Amino acid sequence: MIAPELSFAELEENFALLDDWEDRYRYIIDLGKKLPPFPDALKTEDLKVRGCMSQVWLVPGHAKDDPAKFAFAADSDAHIVKGLIAVLASLFSGKTPAEVAGIDAEEALRALGLEQHLSPSRRNGLVAMVAKIKQYAAGLANA
């Protein structure tokens, strides 16, 4: 499971310090490089996120330190998408399923300026990942 290195608030602060989109883009890619390894055995069709231009696999789970809290593991074949996975981990991991359900991901990601700089297909993929995360967290709440 991905244990975020930064809270989303810290991520926002770091974004604010970066002057232009190229710096932010590199920062997102660097975040993705720090993701834990994702086993090839989990790169299956049933764990694939539909709607993403790149290949993305997402596995739900529990936070390491608290089984009542949601976490996930994920991987992609695209560097920028791996970084976006790290951003989503900062937003969603370690929260209760009810907290995950209440997060306005679109607003949070808008605060980072992502909607202005991602292609429409990347935005669609990001929306698909958020939907899958919320679906998995809801399943955890009902388990």
Give the residue numbers annotated as catalytic, written as ranges. Answer: 52
Residues 101 and 137: their CA atoms lie apart, in Å, by 8
Task: Locate 64 and state its tokens.
Answer: 């390491």
Residues 113 and 132: their CA atoms lie apart, in Å, by 22
Residues 77 and 57: their CA atoms lie apart, in Å, by 9
